[in-house]
Amino acid sequence: MTDAAEPSDRLATAANALTVLRILAVPVLLVLLLAGEDPSPQRRLVAATVFLAAAATDRLDGVLARRSGTVSRFGVVADPIADKALLGGAFVAAAVLGDLAWWVVAVVVAREVTVTAARFAVIRRGLLPATRGGKLKTVRQVVAAAAVLLPLPAAMDPAVLAVVLVMVAVTLVTGVDIVVRAARLARVAPL
């Protein structure tokens, strides 16, 4: 078995297959939501189901890789890309459809770009591992994206707005936390 601390070069793993499936779900999601006229409630339901099934593979691929000792370099790089592509695609599609404000998309994208840049800025000094806050942020983003994708009745609008606003708050707080941790690491860890 491969040591989890040392990712392998192995590509053919169940975890990597799930990551690739998550990436492939993005164009399917976008076609379901954006091809042709406004999507029918049935197409929106199918799109939300595709989204949620793909989002569920994020947790599953990590568990599989760790339990089977098949953590790979490909997975380490591709997994966060797949997550960002899936969530970004869902949020952008919802904004294009008029179901989500563009400023929400801008906050999510700005957070992800800033956090990624902060991690790369200090990578020679050490890694900034995923935190509970980051995992909470991902769950909140998945719930918010599903809420805006589902064909919910208008009476649910206040609840959906509350879900989105909580997600934005968690997204901002966890982003600031990562930037602060990166700044501390840059100050204390020599090159």
Find the radius of gyration of the CA atoms of the chain: 18
154 vs 183: CA distance, rounded Å: 44
Is 105 among the domain residues? Answer: yes
Q: Name the pLDDT band for 4 (thresholds 50, 70, 90).
A: very low
Is 36 among the domain residues? Answer: yes
Q: What is the mean pLDDT of residues 104-115?
A: 95
Is 6 among the domain residues? Answer: no
Is 98 among the domain residues? Answer: yes
Look at the chain and report how many structural domains it folds into: 1
Whether the Cβ atoms of residue 104 and residue 164 lie closer than 8 Å to each other: yes
Q: Domain of 29: which CATH number?
A: 1.20.120.1760
What global pTM score does this model have? 0.88
What residue type is assigned to position 70 of the chain?
A: T
Is 4 among the domain residues? Answer: no
Is 5 among the domain residues? Answer: no
* C-alpha triplet 96, 100, 137: angle, nearest 5°: 120
Give 63's contacts (C-beta < 8 A, 6+ positions apart): none
Query: Is pLDDT above 90 for 171?
Result: yes
Is 1 among the domain residues? Answer: no
Is 9 among the domain residues? Answer: no
Q: pLDDT (tens digit, 9 = 90+) per residue, 91-107?
A: 999 999 999 999 999 99
21 vs 28: CA distance, rounded Å: 11
Q: Which structural domain range is residue 102 located in?
A: 14-188
Q: Name the pLDDT band for 191 (thresholds 50, 70, 90).
A: low
In sequence order, what DSSP letters do the residues of 112-151 get, joined into one string? HHHHHHHHHHTTTT------HHHHHHHHHHHHHHHHHHS-
15 vs 75: CA distance, rounded Å: 7
